[in-house]
Structure 1
Amino acid sequence: MTAAEAGRATSPAATHGGTAMPSARTWVDVAVLLTLAVLGVLGFAPSYGGYSFLLAGMGGLVLGAATGILTTVFRLGGLLTVAVALVGYVIAGPALAVPSQTIVGVVPTLQSLASVAIGTVYGWADLLTLSTPVGAPAYIAVVPYAASWIVALVSTLLATRWLARRPRSAWRFAIAVLPAFALYLTGILVGTAEAYQAGIRGVVFAVLVLLWLGWRRPVGGVAASAVGTLRTRKIVGSALVVVVAVVLGGGAGFWFSPAQDQRFVLRDEIEPPFDPLDYPSPLAGFRHFTKQATDEDLFTATGLEAGDRIRMATLDAYTGKLWNVTGADASSGGSGSYELVGRSLPAAAFVTPVPHPEVEVTIEGYDDVWVPGVGYPDDFELTGGPSAGLSDELRYNASTGSMVLTTGLREGDSYRLDAVTQEAPGLDQLDDVPVASVELPPVEDVPDIVTAKAQEWAGSAGSPAAQLEAIRQVLVTQGFLSHGRASDSAPSRAGHGADRMSEMLEQPQMIGDEEQYSSLFALMARSLGFPARVVMGFAPEVPEGGGAVTVTGDDVTAWVEVAFDGVGWVPFDPTPDETDIPQDQVPKPQSEPQPQVRQPPRADKEPEDLLTPVELEKQDDDEDDLPFVLPGWVYGVGIGLLALAALVFLPVLIIAGLKGRRMRRRRTGGTADQAAGAWEELADRYSELGYLVPPRHTRSMLATRLEGQFPAGEQQAAPRLRVLATETDELVFSGRVPEEAEADALWTAALRAVDAAHDAATPRTRLLARYRVRAARDLAARLTTTAPRRSDR
């Protein structure tokens, strides 16, 4: 091969007309960097539970790489490259990331374009708060698309525009690897506690980087007899690198990798965006259903079975005032940890499942964020109504089976869900079963009488189930049910705070409704060390054979669930049946007769009643002081005019200040510096007037160029710039110290030349010159043009 051929083979690019094709070595660099990026993209698999993201991830890689290569081939500048990349990202994004929202999977729609924009900004936060595997919202696939696109674009530009023009040193290669490494690290951080092919991906990534660094210099520039030896050494060394990386990397990964529960991922560190503590406790509004909404149709459900209870909310934290959900900061898996989910809901981990038919619900008078459901749903779909398009607002707690729609359910909404229910074992089946070890927040301010009665009623029962049943039997046999309505035979105070719990046990008769009995039973269970929680929901009467069931406020109820090891959360109903409440038989004391005393006559009216109050019309003193009141639109117009004036004149003032500071800086210092500054000021002013002022020109050359650009009709009035340039050179390079008067005369002549150009310009040009700064114009020119390429060293 001749020397010329060798030079062409190692040159960074081959130029053909207006294009520049990358060299073979640059293509290898691009291929290696994109392969490393593919390894990073695969790290998103744990979050998506499969490879549904690959179309978006690989599509982003291809798009970013193609953009980088094509803009390099056609020698586009920085700004044009960014513009082309953004346009391609937006146009191709719908087909690659959200094809379900496009026309025939390709043509973008407004909805798909909006999804790409939303996913680019907010998809990262949603991905970290979604319950894995993620399936919704629809824009969630934009995350791997955006990540792979930016990494491929930057990596390709580094390989074709940076590495190709500079010596191939190790530190430059390390910088080029950074985007792919960042994508690799991102896949880990946004993943789950379960690593995805960590050993294989890590070893392959390391081997590729090491081989690329080892072969970064071609085998050339040495004697022909030594070429074969060097190539053999490189091959042997590369093989050793692969073996060492596989053995040491695999061994280190096996022996030193952290346990799965100690793996650091961001989703474990970020609090979900929905906090149910921002909403009032559902149990605190129990009496609203039993009093105000007793006969109101809340919703209609089909698919229910006899004995079904509809879960509304699950509460496991007691503050002494009420039961509520656990705060997300107190427990990552408690009743307050709700995750953004799609149509497919994560399965409950602690349940003995029993299949249940599909349930469909249509909302009527119900209006709340808590979504009524049966058991533990595993599939949910909003099928109609005002909330039909708001599936992205659904949050789910897999440990309690509770669902929340952050926008709230409204009349006309309908949804469908598939669920499993908890098997309800008999007491004989739970006789030898211990309670489960479940993390629950401690209950606070529990009255002492609650603990004492729990121990008394549990008695000598052996198993936890027997103790709970003994307490339940006392409540249902000795207590009485009352909702506190006017028609009830005995009053019943609302609430379930510590004072209400004490009142129930201290009074001669226990009186309350499901709110009080479930709260009391749960507190007694917790005082014995049993994991218990309160569930609020509905228990409608389901006819034989199923059919549609209309749920009203009268169907509201509450019950208690206790966790048993290996079984799940077993329900207990501690509320007694509705029976007549016996009246208190204690006779009331009779009033003793008092001696009659003659009382003075009472006036028909009190003295103050004799005065008729007169309401004086309250007047605003401020209004009397004003001769007139300006209408509101005047203020709006005034603010708009002030904003427009600020938009027009504020930049002019700022730029004028910058130019004044620039000229003052140039007029200070030595007289030679002042002379050079006068010419620099002239060149800047001409550039701001729209003249082409090329850099790196001598003053004489620049003066000739500027005189040639003077308007054709104003040539006679054109200043003698070449004379001014010669005078400037004489003062700067003569070696003598110019007089102050000479520098001032030069500044006067330069400013007079600027005034001549200003007078010859059009009014539009003079106006634009007020908004121009030469430094900004030069920077824009550099970004929009491609610098000439240098040969590889």
Structure 2
Amino acid sequence: MRRIAARSWVDLGVLAVLSITGILGYATAFGTMNFLLAAAGGLLIGTAAAVAGSLFRLDVLTTTLIGIAAYFLFGGAFALPATTIAVVVPSLDTFAMLAIGAVFGWADIVTIGAPVEAPHYVAAVPLAAAWVVSLVGSMLALRWLPKKRTPWRTSLLVIGPGLLYLSGILLGTDEPVLAGVRGLVFAVLSLIWVAWRQASAAPVSGDGAARLRRRRIAGTAAVVAGAVVVGGVAGAAVQPASPERYVLREQVVPPFDPLEFPSPLSGFRHFTKDLADTPILEVSGVEPGDKIRLASMDAYTGKLWNVAGPEDPAGQDGGYAIVGETLPQPDTASLGGERSVEIASTGYADVWMPTVGYGSAIRLVEPAELTRSADLRYNAEAGTAVLTTGVEEGTAYTLDARVSKVPGDEELAEVPVAQLPVPAAQSVPDVVTAKAEEWAGEQASVIGQIRAIERALKTNGFLSHGLASDAVPSRAGHGADRIIELFTRSQMIGDEEQYATAMALMVRQLGYPSRVVMGFAPEIAEGAGTVEVTGSDVTAWVEVPFEGIGWVAFDPTPEQTDAPKDQVPKPKTEPQPQVRQPPRAQNDAEDLLATVEIDETEDEDRDPPFRIPGWVWAIALSLGIPAAIVFLPLLAVAAAKEARRRRRMSGPGYRSSAGAWEEFVDRSAELGLEPPERGSRLVFARTLGQRLAEQDLAASAAPATRADAAHRTAIATAEVTALAASVDRDVFSGREVDAAEAKARWAEADRVLGEIERSGGRVRRILARYRYRRRRRRSRKDAS
């Protein structure tokens, strides 16, 4: 085994500290320090793989393969323990999430609202980042840096931790994490490392060495002090800290566009007609007066209310971002009582998730695959959530939320409306503006004007869902033509869809922002456990924002259902002349055919005769993937070695004999006995003998064992020397070498190599199977 110098261990420690300093910037994205366990695991796995490759003299490719295998075998314990078996053994889900997280986690993390908690594979991002930097940096520190220690070589090793530092800024939020402290630690440690790793031009001893050491310490202290003063004090005075940082999440528009889905309000009558008596939700944890929110809409197109698109700068409800379990809090809401709600869909199917109040945490329970999805999006200002894959029957989740405080009109009398940006309403009928000015009247306060409009709609209108049982029919829709009909008929007749639309537009015409909210308002008794929600509980209301309070709800829908019928005279019927009907035609020939029942059951609907259980597939894949990681590289290297051997055995006898020696040298190098780059075969033989002796003596402790090892080494060295001399005679004698002699050289080389393999130990033989080395064919001049 190759010995690692103490200076190299110091280099590895410095790289680890710099990497941890840089990756601390991820704290703002993940919210807590739990990600540090994954980052530390990545550093440990990458560094351990590089150290193992250096100790056993493995080449770069083999070391990289070992690092990849270690990432998949041990990464789950650090980043995804919930997917492993007994926290240590990786499962099929562990392999899949480690791969997906390393490839796609970078794109997901900038679109997920902080703190990032879902999808679970995002935890693989700090693991993979630290693993790559530590694996590459450690291999360079152990293999490349010791060959010639110069400042520029050491500086190149700082690039990896520097990239981690930069990624912590770009993937985080606009709130820095100890930016000044981390920056100074990173800069100072890097400067000291680069300065002290510069090799002296000539060896110095005695008093000269002491003076040189004192100068280096003084110089390093001066550089550090200068960096602190210039970077920390002067830098802050010349260029104060910017209140905004450039982070990727602020530049990326969430991919979800609510305009791709139908307006929730357009399906209002589906609930009142088709699902009126159908249980659609089971909700527990709610209290009397609570409403279940589906969606809030602030954009009116003249045809319908809808959620503003993500690119609309005036849309308060268009910002649906990917979230984890923790939900962001609204900026414009005064929150009161807490709720812990459990919601299960029994017949509801849509992308809009029923919620209560403004959520603080949400946990998907059923089905199980949703708990690992990245399809949950939430809008803090609207208090509504979206599951892009759709809420279906059987979907269940829990919600921690707080409901808005309901202030009285006395509290709102002196409070102005919050001038929040909302999309301008389009194609608003003139009658809406006229009615708004008429009903608002001479009210002085804003709340008085809004209450007047709400009261006029409730007292002058009648409620009708357009059902057959209603006394007066009511047409569905809430476009401009339907709102004109609502105000111009002799009686205002409609349901929550029309009244909420009318009031929201009237408030807009007075110059105040407003939005329409659709949801459910079931009857909730005091102390009720689980509440069953049916389609008849659907409702819609209006919300208007007030300064310092948030969005206040208004309900303009009347409770009166007995609307007077319009008196329209029925037209008189006139008698029609009787016409003799023609005789009935004879039965067609087709009517005489007997009905035959045909069994249309398809063969594929029948159960197969044999089906492999799912647990068998899970076990096979859990064992097959690690086996493939371990044995596929072994098979590939073995195939390459066999092709190399056949190629060298072909050709004339002298060339085949030389090929036997080349094969012997390469296989010795694969065992860790590296020959010199140049020299004759006899020089190679003596060098191999010396390294074989060093290997045997290092593995032997007792004097008797050392004596046996020295005896075996002497015999092996003599046999290698004899093999080198035989090959030299075959190559340089000028005589014809027949196939039998060449075959004898190969047999002799294999025998000597077998003795070397047995003396090297089982571990060295196993590792040699993963190594592939091909020495270039030397010219006749080099061979001599």
Fold agreement, TM-score > 0.5: yes
How far is 1:536 from its partner?
A: 0.5
Residue 155 of structure 1: CA displacement? 0.8
Cα distance change, pair 331–700 in 1 and its aligned pair in 2 (3 A): farther
Distance in 1 (CA, whole Å) between partners of 2:71 and 2:582 is 86
User: Which residue is equivalent to 2:711?
Assistant: none
Aligned to 1:218: 199
Change (3 A) 1:707 1:421: closer
SS at the partner of 1:570?
strand
Q: Following the alignment from structure 1 to structure 2, what is the Cα–Cα distance between the partners of residues 64 and 101?
A: 22
* Aligned mates of 1:611, 1:565 — CA distance in 2: 82
Q: Deviations over 1:572-601 (max 9, x none)?
A: 11111133112234x64978x99x9x99x9
Contact 2:150/2:199, CA 8 A, preserved across alignment: no
For residues 604-683 of structure 1, what are the structure 2 equivalents within 5 Å? none
Give 3-state SS (helix, strand or coil) of 1:440's partner.
coil
2:219 to 225, 237, 240: 237
Aligned twin of 1:160:
142
Q: Tell me which residue corresponds to 1:514.
A: 496
Instruction: Pick closer, same or farther for the CA change 1:25–1:511 going to 2, 3 Å.
Output: same
**Secondary structure class of the residue paired with 2:363:** strand
Instruction: Return the match for 1:705 from 634, 652, 658.
Output: 658
Worse-matched range after superposition: 505-514 or 558-567: 505-514
Cα separation, 2, equivalents of 1:393 and 1:254: 46
The within-5 A match list for 1:337-352 is 337-352=319-334
CA contact (8 A) 1:76 1:785 kept: no
Amino acid at match of 1:376: Y
Give the stretch that moved more between structures: 386-395 or 225-234.
386-395
Instruction: Give the aligned partner of residue 736 of structure 1.
Output: none
Does the CA-based 8 Å contact 2:118-2:372 persist in structure 1? no
State whether residues 382 and 391 of structure 1, in contact with CA within 8 Å, keep that contact through their aligned partners in structure 2: no
TM-score w.r.t. structure 1 length? Answer: 0.72
- Give the number of equivalent residue pairs: 632
After the TM superposition, which of the residue ranges 517-526 and 446-455 deviates more from structure 2?
A: 446-455
Change (3 A) 1:387 1:314: farther
Take 2:38 and 2:770, find their aligned partners in 1: how far apart are those partners? 34
Structure 1 residue 60, shift from structure 2 partner: 0.8
1:189-247 deviation digits (Å, cap 9, x = unpaired): 11011111111111111112222222232346166554444433322222222122222
1:330-354 CA-partner distances (Å, limit 9, x unpaired):
2498323223333332333322111
Cα separation, partners in 2 of 1:783 and 1:688, compared to 1, 3 Å: closer
Instruction: Answer yes or no: is 1:181 the counterpart of 2:162.
Output: yes
Match of 2:38 in 1: 56
1:58-86 CA distance string (max 9 Å, x none): 11111111111221221111221121011
Alignment counterpart, residue 114 of structure 1, candidates 96, 111, 123: 96
Specify whether residues 75 and 688 from structure 1 end up closer, same or farther in structure 2 by C-alpha distance, changes over 3 A only. Answer: closer
Aligned residue in 1 for 2:287: 305
DSSP-derived class of the 1:358 partner: strand
- Cα distance in 2 for partners of 1:236, 1:613 equals 115
Q: Residue 519 of structure 1 contacts residue 534 of structure 1 at CA under 8 Å; is this kept in 2? A: yes
Which residue, out of 214, 236, 239, partners 1:256? 239
CA distance in 2, matches of 1:708, 1:197: 61
Shift, 1:300, TM fit: 2.1
Q: For 1:106 and 1:689, how far apart are their aligned partners in 2?
A: 41
**Per-residue displacement from partner, 1:723-775 (whole Å, max 9, x unpaired)?**
xx99xx9xxxxxxxxxxxxxxxxxxxxxxx9xxx9xxxxxxxxxxxxxxxxxx
- Range with bigger deviation, 377-386 or 141-150: 377-386
Gap change, CA 1:270 and 1:709, over 3 Å in 2: closer
Q: Partner of 2:176 in structure 1?
A: 195
Q: Determine the C-alpha separation between the residues in 2 that align with 1:72 and 1:122.
A: 32
CA shift for structure 1 position 143 = 0.9
Answering whether residue 433 of structure 2 is matched by residue 480 of structure 1, we say no
Counterpart for residue 325 of structure 1 = 307
Counterpart check, 1:451 vs 2:407: no
Counterpart secondary structure, 2:551: strand
1:342 and 1:391 in contact (8 A); partners too: no
Q: Is 1:690 paired with 2:649?
A: no
> Which of 336, 339, 363 does residue 345 from structure 2 map onto?
363
Aligned-residue sequence identity (percent) comes to 46
Give me the whole-angstrom Cα distance separating, in 2, the residues matched to 1:709 and 1:565: 85
CA contact (8 A) 2:294 2:354 kept: yes
Choose the corresponding residue for 1:560, options 496, 521, 542. 542
Q: Distance in 1 between matches of 2:372 and 2:198?
A: 56
CA positional deviation for 1:545: 3.3
Unaligned runs of 5+ in 2: 591-641, 664-727, 744-767, 777-784
Equivalent-residue separation in structure 2 for 1:233 and 1:437 (angstroms): 66
Per mean C-alpha deviation after superposition, the further-off stretch among 37-46 and 130-139 is 130-139
Matched, 1:204 2:157: no
Q: Secondary structure at the match of 1:55?
A: helix
Aligned partner of 2:118 in structure 1 is: 136
Q: Are the equivalent residues in 2 in contact too, given 1:220–1:227 (CA < 8 A)?
A: no
Residue-by-residue CA offset, 1:301-355 (whole Å, 9 max, x unaligned)? 2222221111111112222221111212224983232233333323333221111
Query: Which of 538, 543, 553 matches 2:520?
Result: 538
Secondary structure, aligned partner of 2:401:
strand
For residue 449 of structure 1, report the CA deviation from its aligned partner: 2.8
Structure 2: how far apart are the matches of 1:708 and 1:43? 55
> CA separation of 1:348/1:533 partners in 2, compared to 1, >3 Å: closer, same or farther?
same
- Which of 37, 46, 69 aligns to 2:51? It is 69
Q: Give the root-mean-square deviation of aligned CA atoms.
A: 3.9
Residue number in structure 2 paired with 1:622: none
Asked if the contact 1:219/1:231 (under 8 Å) is kept, the reply is: no
Q: What code does the residue aligned with 1:209 have?
A: S
What is the Cα deviation at residue 444 of structure 1?
2.4
* Matched residue, 2:6: 24
SS, match of residue 3 in structure 2: strand
The answer (yes or no) to whether the contact 2:149–2:199 under 8 Å persists in 1 is no
Taking a change above 3 Å as real, the CA distance of residues 138 and 590 of structure 1, as seen in their structure-2 partners, is: closer
**How far has the Cα of 1:508 moved from its partner?**
2.9
Match of 1:409 in 2: 391
The separation in 1 between residues aligned to 2:660 and 2:452, in whole angstroms, is 107
Contact 2:299 2:315 in 1 (8 A): no
Letter in 2 for 1:62: L
Letter in 1 for 2:440: A
The answer on whether the counterparts of 2:649 and 2:660 sit within 8 Å (CA) in structure 1 is no
1:523 aligned to 480, 489, 505, which one?
505
In structure 2, the CA distance between the partners of 1:602 and 1:87, relative to structure 1 (3 Å rule), is same
Instruction: Judge which range, 120-129 or 308-317, deviates more.
Output: 120-129
Distance 1:786-1:313 versus aligned 2 partners, 3 A rule: farther
Gap runs ≥5 in structure 1: 1-18, 616-685, 711-721, 730-752, 758-779, 789-793
Partners of 1:571 and 1:254 lie apart in 2 by 50
Counterpart-to-counterpart distance in 1, 2:547 and 2:368: 42
**CA distance 1:388–1:181, change in 2 (3 Å):** closer
User: 2 CA distance for matches of 1:34 and 1:361?
Assistant: 46
Aligned to 1:397: 379
Whole-Å separation in 2 of the counterparts to 1:272 and 1:263? 19
Query: Which residue, 70, 79, 82 being the options, matches 2:64?
Result: 82
Contact kept in structure 2, 1:298 and 1:551, CA below 8 Å: yes
Q: Is the 8 A contact 2:363 2:371 kept in 1?
A: no
* Cα distance in 1 for residues equivalent to 2:195 and 2:407: 67
Cα distance, 1:276 vs structure 2 = 2.7
What TM-score do the two structures reach when normalised by structure 2? 0.73
Q: Does the Cα contact within 8 Å between 2:29 and 2:173 map onto a contact in 1?
A: yes
Pair 218,175 (structure 1): closer, same or farther in 2 beyond 3 Å: closer
Q: Secondary structure at the match of 1:31?
A: helix
